[in-house]
Amino acid sequence: MNTLYCGLILLCFYINHSVAYFITVDAHAEECFFDKVEAGTKMGLTFEIAEGGFLDIDVRIVGPDSKNIYQGERETSGKYTFAAHTQGVYTYCFSNKMSTMTPKVVMFNMAIGESPKSEAQEGENPNKMEDMIKELSGSLSGVKQEQEYMQLRDRIHRSINESTNSRVVMWSFFEALILVAMTIGQVYYLKRFFEVRRSGLILKSIYFLLTL
């Protein structure tokens, strides 16, 4: 029972390392996040733009030596995996400086693997249960990320559908106004036409009577 309890605690600990976050990056702004890792640690950044403008943003990953590991411009989504080349703080930033007024909502996840030192220690002291827990936590993290991705895609599609529906309703309303305006204009024109014609007939009749 104690072994199972410890296993559940370890499982929760590993799952917490792969939590997806939602952030809002304002126009002309940049949001950066930091992780300190050992050399050789595997890292993976996954991101998706949920809302805002053309659903694009600039992405940048910088190493402890201030050199760009990855840099992308106006990206909608992406996944970049790399191994830490040196020990230190790694920075990943989402920049919305190219936008003039539209904020962007970004969902991202930075997955950090075990450091080589930890893996070496585990190799010296093998623990089958802990290996099974790590494997299970990796599978659950993958399922969770896929679920969050599907929820995000559903949110984006729903937003697009609502926007399209609003435009269709506005266009239909605009067409109805045009039809009403054309109908009123035609009625007014026909009314004026018959009034002018009627006045002309009356004048002709008076002139005819006067000439008799």
- Angle between helix axes 128-210 and 2-15 (nearest 10 degrees) is 40
What tokens were used for 107? 């969902």
pLDDT at res. 196: 62
How much is the pTM?
0.60
Per-residue confidence in pLDDT tens, the chain, 212 aa: 444 444 444 444 444 445 578 899 999 999 999 999 998 888 888 888 888 888 899 999 999 999 999 999 999 888 888 999 899 999 999 999 988 888 998 988 888 877 766 555 555 555 677 777 767 776 777 677 677 777 767 777 777 788 788 888 899 888 889 988 888 888 887 777 766 666 656 656 665 555 66
Strand, helix or coil for residue 46: strand
d(CA 109, CA 103): 19
Phi-psi sector, 52: left (phi>0), alpha (psi -120 to 50), beta: left
d(CA 132, CA 11): 10
pLDDT at res. 126: 57
Q: What is the DSSP letter of 97?
A: T
| Residues paired with residue 59 on neighbouring β-strands, in sequence order | 72, 94
Q: 2-162 in CATH: which number? A: 2.60.120.680
Sheet holding 21-25, edge to edge: 21-25, 104-112, 42-51, 77-83
pLDDT at res. 167: 84
pLDDT at res. 204: 62
| Residues paired with residue 46 on neighbouring β-strands, in sequence order | 79, 109
d(CA 152, CA 158): 10
pLDDT at res. 211: 65
pLDDT at res. 11: 44
CA-based angle 142:151:141, to the nearest 5?
A: 15
Of 27, 34, 33, 79, nearest in space to 57 by CA: 27
